[in-house]
Chains A and B, each alone.
Chain A
Amino acid sequence: MKDVLIKVINDAVQKFGAEYIEARAQKLFKTMLTVKEDRVEAVKQGIENGVALRVLVDGAWGFASVGALGVEALTDAVSDSCRMAKAASSRIKAPTKLIKTKAVEDKVSVRPRKDPSKVSVEDKINTALTLSNTILGYDNRLRSCTIDYLDLTGTSYFMNNEGTYLEQDKLYVWSRTTATAKEADVFTFSREEVGSTSGYEIFDVETPEIVGERVAKRAVEQLKAKPPKGGTFPVVLGPNVVGVFVHEAFGHLAEADLTLSGSVLSNKLGKKIASRTVTVYDDGTINGAFGSFKYDDEGVLAQKTPLVKDGVVIGLMHNRETAHKFNTEPTGNARAEDFRVEPMIRMRNTFMQPKDRSFEELVEDIKFGYYFKSFRGGQSNLDGTFQVGIQEAYEIVKGQLGAAVRNASISGNTLETLLNVDAAGKDFELWPGRCGKGQTAFTCEGGPHVRVKGVLVGGSD
């Protein structure tokens, strides 16, 4: 592979005058399966090989992607990408520049205890069927469940014209389980995901029995849950909800490309935007976590990036382009889903740092409010408006957990809400997720339990 990439890189520089060129090649293998109730829908596998070329000519980017690894196809792609860049550069006002980085050569291997590519497909089917049996056997009001499983293994190659050459093993294991329960006219829905970069051994911890019961129990409990009241209430957020809040409501605004686009964090670097309780990191180095990797897709070493310390914004997430604009170091946040697309600034494992309170201490002073334990989805906007939908919630009445509540969601302005965070727990959990920003990235989100003085709850009652 290396010889082919060297030729491609030389071509771009010598024949087309590229200021910068990088080639990312991948040889990936996927196994997927879907189980619906007790039926194995289809067992699937696939090969995805290809190369992405990105060049900088006259200050504009050109990009070409081909599903091939041969010299001939890549030679065409080089001329394509340089032609693309030339066309794009015709109206460039502020030419794109990259911050300098040190050239690095490395080979990164993964050593899973259980390599998913060596686990038999029969084993994978049986794990999914055990999960399904656990759910449907839990209670006869559970009507259906769907289990999707994916593993991805292989190697990615990176080379640029500045002397960096990397070979990295890739390994992801993921599953998503959803279930619905029905009683009279009430429908409930429950979802859990498992994700890891360590190996198939994740299912020895998140066993089908444990995950199945978690999904089933929630769906059944929600049957007797009531709709929330609409309005502003004090709330305690579980680590799973804190994670998605930190990711959606704050994290996206701290992606330097979005900060430059005018997110509410532009001009906030070094300023206090949250209560002293809030410290936030985006960390690509947590062993085995779903958002971890060694080098990003620009060949930059992933790091643990502090974003907020004691309420003050102290960092953003960068690629080499935004790092140049801010005159700072790149943080290793440039990620591309595959060879079909370009790297963009994405989160890795994003979390709030735990503090000192017990769960009881967080709840005890609340006369009436809500405990939001687990999320269903979330979304944010550049103006700081966020929304997080909740799949598991309870009332808090006179300092005690009360009745279950279904289909709630919370919303507000990120900066106002962060100032309203008035206490954080000493516990900590990290949950796997998948983030969509045009492309899908595997991530983790988490934190401790957190109390917020007041947040808008969207309820139909």
Chain B
Amino acid sequence: MAVIRQGEMLSLVEDAVSFASKRGADEAEAFSYQGLTTNVVIERGQITKSARIIDRGLGVRVAVNKSVGFSYTNILDNKTAINETILKALSYAKASKPDEDWHGFPAKKTLPSVENIYDSSIVELHSDDLVRIASTMLDAAEKTDKRIFPIDGGVGASHLSQAIANSNGIANFDHGTIIECSLATIANEKGSVTPVCFEFNVERNYNIDPDWVGREAARLAVSALKAKKIETRSTEVVFTQFALQQLLYFTLINAVKSDFVQRNQSALKGRIGEKVASETVTIYDDGLLKGGLRTWRFDGEGTPQQRTLIIEKGVLRNFIYDNYTAEKEGKESTGNAARAGYISTPNIEATNFNIIAGNRPPEELVGTIDDGLLVYYLQGAHSSNPASGEFSVVATPAWKIKNGEIAHAIKGAMLAGNIFQTLKSISALANNERKIGQLVAPWVLVENVKVIGK
């Protein structure tokens, strides 16, 4: 299937907006998306498959008398089918109920420039190249230790393009690349199996280190062997970015979304200007972060992305907005309307949720602890109470820290608490910032975490 280019994507959305307006839309917005992905899959120690996935389509949102309808299609080679899709959005808007808070689509604004989100060398990668990267990763893991078994993983390269137009004159195009490699391993010794240990690299530029990923995934699994149970008590815990991401995704990140705040679902409602975290914590939602995984010039409504201060030295400063929730408060959107490709209407999401790193090496954080834990991943974070921030999760894999050193792996330990209490108990941040999903953060040291052991 032929790749569609910038000009075609833009005329697709501009034509859709003009057709919708002619057919009775008070306002119209069209979004087109194209994702071209090549990947290679590792299963149980070997490369077993490779795939080429082409997904593209058009989503049209219209408003008629303050009622909103949306329709999408992935059939783009047929003008009649596209027009039928637009008419369907109109008929759904007419069938829906008016929303007095609807103030229309965003106005046209100057777009910012962003750095390191597109790399043509990723676009040029073929499956043979990805097989080579996967082999490097596998070899590195297997050379590290005989007791490990790489259960799954792979390498993927994507080229994503998006265009948006609306009846206020917005007509934007942007494209970017992503490359990732990952490996999940377990270690096996005398019949005992470790939990799954996972490492990965993901970048917008062709700048990944499959050798490191392989070695690190293997090292983690080996060090997770010989796990012991621990006693119930409150203790110091170092959370890696994996654990932090799982903990924050369902709690803090939701609590700063303006729709959660406006709809009384956020424990942070009414607390702008108050201290909600320890003084060591400063957080930006940075839609323009250089090379950020969610860095784009504009969001899912065509609004410029920006850098928004969320928490400054522990004090809550701002929430994140799309156009609808911003208009409701007479504010400007912070460029946080996200889309899941062409099939969804915009939803408020964090871009790059950046917890500003400290200046101490991670070993030094561990080194200050007499008796505590290093928690790599959590299991069950999605069952946290999203409104109150209460969590009750399993720490696995995790390690006991004794006299400033990693003593041994632990098993079966649960952590329970409230994320907003946890934020106030962060006493130090390391300098090892990395990107995991929406989160860009270092390791953090939290005091006084309730650990439930045997």
* CB pair B1 A66 closer than 8 Å: yes
A151 at the interface (CB under 8 A from B): no
B72 at the interface (CB under 8 A from A): yes
Chain B proximity mask over A164-189: 1 for CB below 8 Å, otherwise 0: 00000000000000001010001111
Chain B proximity mask over A123-145: 1 for CB below 8 Å, otherwise 0: 00100010000000000000110
* CB pair B50 A61 closer than 8 Å: yes
Residue of A41, A44, A46, A409 near B383 (CB, 8 A) is A409
B151 partner residues in chain A, CB cutoff 8 A: 261-262, 382
A40 partner residues in chain B, CB cutoff 8 A: 67-68, 96-97, 99
* CB pair A376 B68 closer than 8 Å: no
B47 at the interface (CB under 8 A from A): yes
A76 at the interface (CB under 8 A from B): yes
CA–CA, A32 to B66, complex, Å?
Answer: 19
Chain A: CB-nearest residue to B346: A42
* CB pair B74 A49 closer than 8 Å: yes
Interface size on B, residues (CB 8 A): 90
**Minimal beta-carbon separation of B429 from chain A (angstroms):** 24
* CB pair A88 B263 closer than 8 Å: no
CA–CA, A239 to B265, complex, Å?
Answer: 29
* CB pair A47 B412 closer than 8 Å: no
* CB pair A90 B131 closer than 8 Å: yes
Residue of B51, B54, B345 near A67 (CB, 8 A) is B54
* CB pair A459 B416 closer than 8 Å: yes
B23 at the interface (CB under 8 A from A): no
- Among A10-18, A78-86, A301-309, the stretch that binds chain B is A78-86
Chain A proximity mask over B119-150: 1 for CB below 8 Å, otherwise 0: 00000001110110001000000000000010
CA–CA, A182 to B382, complex, Å?
Answer: 21
B387 partner residues in chain A, CB cutoff 8 A: 180, 182, 187-189
* CB pair A340 B232 closer than 8 Å: no
A37 at the interface (CB under 8 A from B): yes
B277 partner residues in chain A, CB cutoff 8 A: none
* CB pair A383 B49 closer than 8 Å: no
CA–CA, A407 to B97, complex, Å?
Answer: 36
Residues 53 to 78 of chain B near chain A (Cβ within 8 Å): 53-57, 59, 61, 67-75, 77
* CB pair B68 A68 closer than 8 Å: no
Residues 396 to 437 of chain B near chain A (Cβ within 8 Å): 396, 411-412, 414-418
**Minimal beta-carbon separation of A132 from chain B (angstroms):** 12
CA–CA, A340 to B341, complex, Å?
Answer: 13
* CB pair A44 B75 closer than 8 Å: no
CA–CA, A65 to B35, complex, Å?
Answer: 11
B394 partner residues in chain A, CB cutoff 8 A: 385, 387, 411, 458
Q: A43-B92, A44-B92 are in contact. Are A383 and B186 (CB under 8 A)?
A: yes
Chain B proximity mask over A400-421: 1 for CB below 8 Å, otherwise 0: 0000001111011100000000
CA–CA, A460 to B56, complex, Å?
Answer: 47
* CB pair B49 A385 closer than 8 Å: no
A456 at the interface (CB under 8 A from B): yes
CA–CA, A237 to B307, complex, Å?
Answer: 47
Residue of B44, B97, B135, B380 near A409 (CB, 8 A) is B380
- Most B CB within 10 A of own CB, among A189, A227, A383: A383
Chain A proximity mask over B14-31: 1 for CB below 8 Å, otherwise 0: 000000000000000000
Report the interface size class on chain A: 35 or more
Residue of B67, B127, B393 near A88 (CB, 8 A) is B127
Q: A60-B49, A188-B388, A378-B383 are in contact. Are A43 and B69 (CB under 8 A)?
A: yes
* CB pair B96 A125 closer than 8 Å: yes
A460 partner residues in chain B, CB cutoff 8 A: 390, 392, 416-418, 450
B345 partner residues in chain A, CB cutoff 8 A: 41-42, 44
- Among B193-201, B212-220, B294-302, the stretch that binds chain A is B193-201
Residue of B54, B95, B391, B417 near A125 (CB, 8 A) is B95
Chain B proximity mask over A33-73: 1 for CB below 8 Å, otherwise 0: 00011011111111111100000000011111111101001
* CB pair B40 A88 closer than 8 Å: yes
Q: A188-B387, A340-B55, A409-B393 are in contact. Are A84 and B68 (CB under 8 A)?
A: no
CA–CA, A85 to B396, complex, Å?
Answer: 36
A87 at the interface (CB under 8 A from B): yes
Chain B: CB-nearest residue to A47: B73
Residue of A144, A230, A262, A407 near B186 (CB, 8 A) is A262
Chain A: CB-nearest residue to B246: A379
* CB pair A83 B127 closer than 8 Å: yes
**Minimal beta-carbon separation of A125 from chain B (angstroms):** 6
* CB pair A411 B85 closer than 8 Å: no
Residue of A42, A121, A381 near B195 (CB, 8 A) is A381
Chain A: CB-nearest residue to B71: A45
CA–CA, A67 to B393, complex, Å?
Answer: 40
Residues 362 to 411 of chain A near chain B (Cβ within 8 Å): 375-390, 406-409, 411
Residue of B51, B59, B379 near A64 (CB, 8 A) is B51
* CB pair B131 A87 closer than 8 Å: yes
B50 partner residues in chain A, CB cutoff 8 A: 60-63, 84-85, 87-88
Q: A65-B53, A188-B388 are in contact. Are A385 and B186 (CB under 8 A)?
A: no
- Among A1-9, A91-99, A277-285, A440-448, the stretch that binds chain B is A91-99
A73 partner residues in chain B, CB cutoff 8 A: 1
B415 partner residues in chain A, CB cutoff 8 A: 458
List the 8 shortest-distance A-B pairs measured between CB atoms, nearest first: A389-B383, A387-B380, A377-B383, A61-B49, A458-B414, A143-B264, A63-B51, A84-B50
User: 28 A-B residue contacts at CB 8 Å?
Assistant: A43-B96, A44-B69, A44-B345, A45-B72, A47-B75, A50-B74, A61-B48, A62-B51, A65-B55, A67-B57, A87-B126, A93-B46, A189-B388, A262-B151, A377-B382, A379-B379, A381-B396, A383-B193, A385-B394, A387-B383, A389-B380, A407-B390, A409-B416, A411-B380, A456-B452, A458-B392, A458-B414, A460-B418
**Can you name 20 extra interface pairs (CB under 8 A) apart from A67-B74, A67-B75?**
A41-B345, A43-B95, A48-B343, A64-B52, A70-B77, A91-B47, A92-B48, A125-B97, A186-B388, A189-B386, A189-B387, A261-B186, A376-B383, A378-B380, A385-B195, A388-B383, A407-B388, A409-B392, A411-B380, A456-B452
Q: Which residues of A contact B (CB under 8 A)?
A: 36-37, 39-50, 60-68, 70, 73, 76-77, 80-81, 83-85, 87-88, 90-94, 96, 120-122, 125, 129, 143-144, 180, 182, 186-189, 227, 230-232, 257, 260-264, 340, 342, 375-390, 406-409, 411-413, 456-460
